[in-house]
Amino acid sequence: MGLSLSTEDAEERLSKANGFWGGNTMLRTYHEEPVFDGQYSNSAYVGRVKEALAHFGTKINVNPALEWDRVVMHLPYAFHGRRMLVNFYLDWMKENGRWAEIVAAMDGEKPEDKEEAKTWVRAFSKSSYYKNYVSKALEPAERASSLIGNMYTASIFMGLISTLCDAAQRKESLTGKVIGFMGYGSGSKAKVFQGTVQSGWNKVAKLRLFERLEDRVAVDFTTYENWHNEKLQTPIVPNKSAFIFEGLRTQENQEYFRDYTRQ
C-alpha cells in the first residue's frame, strides 16, 4: 500500500516530526554506488597518520625531519605524499627548535592566524627549501608510483623497492641509513615505523625495476578487455618470457586463487 501526499501535507508532517528528531531533520540520499569525497579522504589520511606518529613518538625518541634519511609513505597517487607530508614536516621542525630556519626560508614571513596559515603552508610546500627536502627524502619512493599508479596495499612496499633501486642506480650507499614508513589504509587506520638499512641491500639492483618499467608495452582497449575477461589466447608480448593466466580455482577454501604458468 502506497501513501500519496501533497507538498503541503508533506511539509506539515515533516514539521511535526522535528520535535521527535530534536528540532533538526537531516535527510540522507541513497546511492547504489560508492561516493568518493577527496577532501574528506585526505583529512582522514592526515588525521590517522598524525595519531600514529604521536603513538610512535611515545616508543622512540626521534625527529623524523632530521633523522629519517628517506621517507616511504602510502601513495594513492604519486605526489600525494609530499602534499600530506608538509604539515608533518613543519611540526617536526618546530618541535626540534628549527622553526626560525623555516621562517627564514620564507623570507621572514610567518602566518598570523588560522586562515593565513593555509595559504602560508601552501606557499612553503612550493618553496625550494621544502622541495630540496622532498627531493632527498621522499622523491625516490615516488619514482615507481608515478610510473605505476595506485597499488593500494602494495604501495608502501613498492615505495621501499623504489627507494632502494633509486639509490642503487645512483650508486649511493644506504647502509646504516634510517627509513621512516607511514602506512595508511582506507579503513582509516595508519601505522608508523622505521627501519635501518643493512649491508647487502644493493642486491635489489638485480630487479632492474626502472628498466623493466621502461620496457612496458601499451595495449589497446580491445586487448585489455580480452585479457580482463580471460579471452586472451596468446601473451601480449609473445617474444618474451611471460606468465600466462590458466584460470581460477574452485576448490573449497581456494575459491578465486589464480594459477599461472611461465612461458
* Count of CB atoms situated within 10 Å of the CB of 54: 10
Assigned C-alpha cell, 27:
535527510
Instruction: Give me the pLDDT at residue 66, please.
Output: 92
48 and 164 part of one domain: yes
Residue 33 included in any domain: no
Total domains present in the chain:
2
Q: By residue range, what is the domain housing residue 119? A: 38-208
Q: Please indicate, yes or no, whether residues 193 and 251 belong to a single structural domain of this protein.
A: no
235 and 112 inside one domain: no
- My answer on whether 150 and 237 are in the same domain is no
CB 42 within 8 A of CB 84: yes
Per-residue confidence in pLDDT tens, the chain, 263 aa: 455 556 666 666 656 655 555 555 565 666 777 666 777 778 888 889 999 999 999 999 999 999 999 999 999 888 888 998 999 999 999 988 999 999 999 999 887 776 788 899 999 999 999 999 999 999 999 999 999 988 888 999 999 999 999 999 999 999 999 999 999 987 788 999 999 999 999 999 999 999 999 988 888 999 889 888 888 877 777 666 666 778 888 888 888 888 888 76
Q: Would residue 164 count as lying in a domain? A: yes
Tell me what pLDDT residue 1 has. 45
pLDDT at 176: 97
Assess whether 244 and 141 both reside in one domain: no
Residue 29 lies in a domain: no
Same domain, 113 and 225: no
Bridge partners for 259 per DSSP: 247
The CATH number of residue 188's host domain is: 3.40.47.10
* 47 within a domain of the structure (yes/no): yes
- 52 and 180 in a single domain? The answer is yes
What pTM does this model have?
0.74
Q: Is residue 96 part of a domain?
A: yes
What pLDDT is recorded for position 18? 55
In a domain, 46, yes or no: yes
> How far is the C-alpha of 75 from the C-alpha of 156, rounded, in Å?
7
Do 226 and 187 fall into the same domain? no
Residues 62 and 157 in one domain: yes
Q: Mark whether 231 and 181 lie in a shared domain.
A: no
* Residue 226 and residue 199 in one domain: no
**Residue 143 sits in the same domain as residue 244:** no
Residue 5 lies in a domain: no
Domain final residue, candidates 208, 233, 251: 208
Indicate whether 25 belongs to any domain: no
